[in-house]
Amino acid sequence: MCLAIPAKIVSVDESDATAIVSLEGIKKKISTALIEDAAIGDYVLVHVGYALNKLSEDEAQRTLDLMREGGLLGEELAEITEGSQ
Amino acid sequence: MKYVDEFRDRAVAEKLAATIAEEAKGGHDYYFMEFCGGHTHAIFRYGVQDLMPANVHFVHGPGCPVCVLPVRRLDDAVELAERHGAILCSYGDMMRVPGTRQRSLIKAKADGADIRMVYSTMDALKIARDNPDRQVVFFAIGFETTTPPTAVAVLQAEKEGLKNFSVFVNHVLTPAAIGHILDSEDFAPGGPARIDGFLGPSHVSAVIGSKPYEAAAAHYQKPVVICGFEPLDVMQSVLMLIRQIKEGRCEVENEYTRVVTRDGNLKAQALVDEVLELRESFEWRGLGPVANSALRLKEKYAFYDAEKRFEISAKQSRETKSCECPAILRGVKKPTDCKLFGTVCTPDNPMGSCMVSSEGACAAYWTYGRFRNKDQAKQTEIA
Amino acid sequence: MSDMTSGPSTLTGSVDMTHGGGGRAMAELIRTLFQKHFSNPVLDQGNDGALVALPPGRVVISTDSHVITPLFFPGGDIGALSINGTVNDVAMMGAKPLYLSVGFILEEGFPLADLERIVISMAAAAKAADVTIATGDTKVVEKGKGDGVFISTTGIGVVPEGVKTSGDNARPGQAVLVSGTIGDHGVAILSKRESLEFETEIVSDCAALNGMIANMLAAVPNITTLRDPTRGGLAATLNEIASASKVGMMLEESAIPIRPDVSAACEFLGLDALYVANEGKLICICEEADANRLVDIMRAHPLGENAARIGTVIADDAHLVQMRTGFGGTRVVDWIAGEQLPRIC
From chain C, pick out residues whose CB is under 8 angstroms from the CB of A28: 198-199, 268
> Minimal Cα distance from B201: which residue of A?
A1
Q: Do B368 and C267 touch (CB under 8 A)?
A: no
DSSP string covering C56-96:
SSEEEEEEEEE--SSSEETTEEHHHHHHHHHHHHHHHTT-E
What's the gap in Å between the CA of B232 and the closest CA on chain A? 8
What's the gap in Å between the CA of C322 and the closest CA on chain B? 9
Q: Do C198 and A26 touch (CB under 8 A)?
A: yes
From chain C, pick out residues whose CB is under 8 angstroms from the CB of A20: 199
- Please say whether the beta carbons of B262 and B205 come within 8 A: no
Pairing assessment for the beta strands C283-286 and C149-159 based on DSSP bridges: unpaired
- Among B36, B142, B206, the residue with its CB nearest the CB of A52 is B206
What's the gap in Å between the CA of A30 and the closest CA on chain C? 10
Per this entry, what is the length of chain B?
A: 383
Residue ranges in chain B whose pLDDT is less than 50: 371, 373-383
What's the gap in Å between the CA of C180 and the closest CA on chain B? 21
What's the gap in Å between the CA of B218 and the closest CA on chain C? 29
d(CA C253, CA C64): 31
| Chains with 3 or more CB pairs under 8 A to chain A | B, C
d(CA A33, CA C156): 57
What's the gap in Å between the CA of A9 and the closest CA on chain B? 13
C256: left (phi over 0), alpha (psi -120 to 50) or beta: beta
- Please say whether the beta carbons of C91 and C223 come within 8 A: no
Closest CA to B68 of B380, B379, B356: B356
d(CA C29, CA C140): 12
DSSP assigned state of A10? E
Q: Do B149 and A48 touch (CB under 8 A)?
A: yes
Name the strands in the sheet holding C96-107, side by side, starting at the edge strand that comes first in the sequence.
Answer: C58-66, C149-159, C96-107, C132-141
- Please say whether the beta carbons of C37 and C120 come within 8 A: yes
Look at residue B378 in the predicted model and tell me its pLDDT. Answer: 36
Give residue ranges of A with CB < 8 Å to any C CB: 2-3, 5, 7, 20, 23-28, 46-48
B127 close contact with A: CB closer than 8 A: no
d(CA C189, CA B162): 31
Look at residue C280 in the predicted model and tell me its pLDDT. Answer: 97
Look at residue B304 in the predicted model and tell me its pLDDT. Answer: 98
d(CA C154, CA B381): 51
Pairing assessment for the beta strands C72-73 and C225-227 based on DSSP bridges: unpaired
- Among B38, B260, B267, the residue with its CB nearest the CB of A35 is B267
- Please say whether the beta carbons of C274 and C186 come within 8 A: no
The model's pTM: 0.87
Q: Do B371 and C318 touch (CB under 8 A)?
A: yes
- Residues C43-63, mean pLDDT to the nearest whole number: 92
What band does C165 get if pLDDT is binned at 50, 70 and 90?
very high
B109 close contact with C: CB closer than 8 A: no
CA angle B240–B243–B245, rounded 5-degree value: 110
| CA neighbours closer than 13 Å in the CB half-sphere of residue C86 | 33
d(CA B65, CA B91): 12
Give residue ranges of C with CB < 8 Å to any A CB: 198-202, 260-261, 263-265, 267-268, 270, 343-345
d(CA C110, CA C178): 38
Q: Do B3 and A59 touch (CB under 8 A)?
A: no
- Residues C77-88, mean pLDDT to the nearest whole number: 97
Least confident of B190-204, C100-114, C118-132: B190-204
> Minimal Cα distance from A31: which residue of B?
B122
> Minimal Cα distance from C327: which residue of B?
B10
Exposed/middle/buried for residue C255 (C-beta within 10 Å: 0-12, 13-18, 19+): middle
DSSP string covering B313-341:
------PPTT--HHHHHTTSS-GGGSTTB
Closest CA to C318 of B50, B363, B54, B342: B342
Distances (CA, A) of C128 to C10, C269, C297: 24, 34, 20
| Three-state SS sequence of C230-294 | CCCHHHHHHHHHHHHHCCEEEEEHHHCCCCHHHHHHHHHHCCCHHHCCCCCCCEEEECHHHHHHH
B44 close contact with C: CB closer than 8 A: yes
List of long-range contacts for B189-193, beta carbons under 8 Å, 24+ apart: B192/B332, B193/B59, B193/B330, B193/B331, B193/B332
Look at residue B375 in the predicted model and tell me its pLDDT. Answer: 44
Q: Do A70 and B15 touch (CB under 8 A)?
A: yes
A76 close contact with B: CB closer than 8 A: no
Look at residue C195 in the predicted model and tell me its pLDDT. Answer: 65
What band does C20 get if pLDDT is binned at 50, 70 and 90?
confident
Look at residue B66 in the predicted model and tell me its pLDDT. Answer: 82
- 3-state SS assignment for residue B134: coil
B17 close contact with A: CB closer than 8 A: yes
Q: Do B146 and A2 touch (CB under 8 A)?
A: yes
Q: For chain C, give the percent of residues with pLDDT over 90.
A: 74
Look at residue C24 in the predicted model and tell me its pLDDT. Answer: 83
CB atoms under 10 Å from CB of C166, counted, come to: 16
| Chains with 3 or more CB pairs under 8 A to chain B | A, C
Helix B231-246 to helix B37-46 angle (10° resolution) is: 110
d(CA C223, CA C180): 18
* C-alpha of A21 from chain center: 13
ipTM of predicted complex? 0.85
| pLDDT at A70 > cutoff 80 | no
Task: Kindly give, in sequence order, each residue whose CB lies less than 8 Å from that of residue A42, ignoring residues fewer than 6 positions away.
Answer: A8, A9, A54, A55
> Minimal Cα distance from A5: which residue of C?
C268
- Please say whether the beta carbons of B132 and B161 come within 8 A: no
